[in-house]
Amino acid sequence: MTSNDDADADRILDGITVVDLTTFVTGGFATLMLANQGAEVIKVERPEVGDDNRHSGPPFVEPDPDYDGPGRTADDNGESPYFWTINYDKLSVEFNLKTDSGLEALYDLVEEADVVVENFRPGTAERLDVGYDDLREVNEDIVYCSISAFGETGPWSSRPGYDLLVQGTSGIMSVTGPEDGDPVKVGLPQTDLITGMWAAFGIVGSLFRRELTGEGDRIEIGMHDAALPWLTKQAGKAFVGEQPERMGTKDPVLAPYQAYPTADGYLNVGCGNQKLWEELCAAIDRPDLAEDDRFASNPDRVANMDELETELSAVFRERPTDEWVDLLADEHGLPVGPVYDVPTALDNEQTEARDVIREVDHPALGTVPVIEHPLNYEHADAGFDGAPPLLGEDTEAILRGLGYDDAALTRLRDEGAIPGE
């Protein structure tokens, strides 16, 4: 096996090898989380094509034309920055799993691995001879995670699915957007990421169980199932016969808890209890609002949310966002904050102070930015050391680590199992 030379020896998943058969985001984010904790993640990609997420763009970034090392971009346009964000610290091999020798190479890899993750449509892994039963014959202790849109049972199990579809079936879109507008997709691939996090959680749990019992396991996750526990407040209303509605930035059980327009942008205000509400009224020089019967308690404010919005919007429009943040958050310690665009979210004093955005060396691009994961341990290390891999960058090194010599590599190339030189 190969690994990053500077990988820390005291990361929680150090020594764990993950074979990643997934494409796009769900499995990719799960294995990204594992890589952040020290696992060696090996992406098995289609020759010449790679992970579909390599082609997600524009934008694309052109590689250094003088780079002549292993691997390549999977698109003439260059590298997709979207691909970077899901594939730091991974290795890439190209195996044609529709050839006998490509499948043999995968089995050799799985024999030395701890985890396999796949997100084929149900039944596809079995048709490719890479299902759980197939790989368990190779490695009986394997932890095998299957991810699909709707799971492997039920009337929707054979349906294809993407984040957009599951945002619809999970009810998320029905409660997102303006209250008098159409259903709105959350502006990031939320159900992909939710599912990826559940998958990583399940994999780590299964690895812990294996430490206790010596037994591997199979984890089966549907994106639709994975999204439903996140409904929380909205599900609570539905459980008692109420219909959750779109509310814009408002909250169904708290007020004020929303975004308000300011002189130059928007301000989020989240008063989670009565004390904070009263302190807010004093800080904005509107003590009369705290004494108003319409806003006397949180249930009153929720019942009169529109009137409360009118009152507070008129106040907050009087000053720019930064002035309100200085006054209310910094001076009075109240839960208010700005609504940033994405570039500002990635580049501000708090993000910088926490070292969330860093750079790592990339063989064909010089350096690329990295969004670090938020787990900070006192007694262990975490974080990314390596750039996302070029397509097939590690194919030869991984195979040589498994014992393949020059003749074996030539055979694989001749049989179409791996790309030619």
Tally of CB atoms within 10 A around 235: 13
- Domain assignments of the chain as residue spans, ordered by start: 17-229+353-414, 266-338
* pLDDT of 1 strictly over 70: no
* pLDDT of 5 strictly over 90: no
pLDDT band at 105 (very low <50, low <70, confident <90, very high): very high
pLDDT at position 29, please? Answer: 98
Q: How many residues does the chain have?
A: 421
CB 292 within 8 A of CB 240: no
Which range is least confidently modeled, 1-15, 65-79, 154-168? Answer: 1-15
Preceding amide of 256 cis, omega within 30 = yes
pLDDT band at 3 (very low <50, low <70, confident <90, very high): very low
pLDDT band at 13 (very low <50, low <70, confident <90, very high): very high
Q: Residue 109: which H helix or E strand, with range? A: helix 100-111
Q: pLDDT tens-digit profile of 282-297?
A: 999 999 999 999 999 9
Q: What share of the chain is helix, strand, coil (3-state, %, to 5)?
A: 40, 15, 45
**In terms of Cα–Cα distance, which of 105, 10, 121 is closest to 381?**
10
- DSSP assignments along 312-346, one per residue: HHHHHTTS-HHHHIIIIIIIT--SEEE---HHHHH
Q: pLDDT tens-digit profile of 156-204?
A: 999 999 999 999 999 999 999 999 999 999 999 999 999 999 999 999 9
Q: pLDDT tens-digit profile of 212-233?
A: 999 999 999 999 999 999 999 9
The residues, ordered by sequence, that sit 6+ positions from 321 with a Cβ below 8 Å of its Cβ are 262, 263, 264, 265, 266, 267, 338, 339
Question: CA 370 from chain center: how many Å?
Answer: 14
Q: pLDDT tens-digit profile of 343-402?
A: 999 999 999 999 999 999 998 889 999 999 999 999 999 999 999 999 999 999 999 999
* pLDDT of 27 strictly over 70: yes
Average pLDDT of the segment spanning 55-66: 85
The CATH-assigned architecture of domain 17-229+353-414 is: 3-Layer(aba) Sandwich (3.40)
* Cα separation values, 251 from 57, 117, 124, 143, Å: 34, 37, 42, 40
pLDDT at position 383, please? Answer: 95
Residues involved in catalysis: 192
Q: How far apart are CA 31 and CA 161, in angstroms?
A: 20
The mean predicted confidence, pLDDT, of the chain is 94
Beta strand 17-20 with 40-45: parallel, antiparallel or unpaired? parallel
CB 253 within 8 A of CB 245: no
CB-count exposure of residue 18 (10 Å: 0-12, 13-18, 19+):
buried
pLDDT band at 78 (very low <50, low <70, confident <90, very high): confident
pLDDT at position 62, please? Answer: 86
State which CATH number among 3.40.190.10, 3.30.1540.10, 3.40.50.280, 3.90.550.10 fits the domain covering 266-338: 3.30.1540.10
* pLDDT of 254 strictly over 50: yes
pLDDT at position 281, please? Answer: 98
pLDDT at position 2, please? Answer: 37
* pLDDT of 7 strictly over 50: no
CB-count exposure of residue 293 (10 Å: 0-12, 13-18, 19+):
exposed
pLDDT band at 76 (very low <50, low <70, confident <90, very high): low
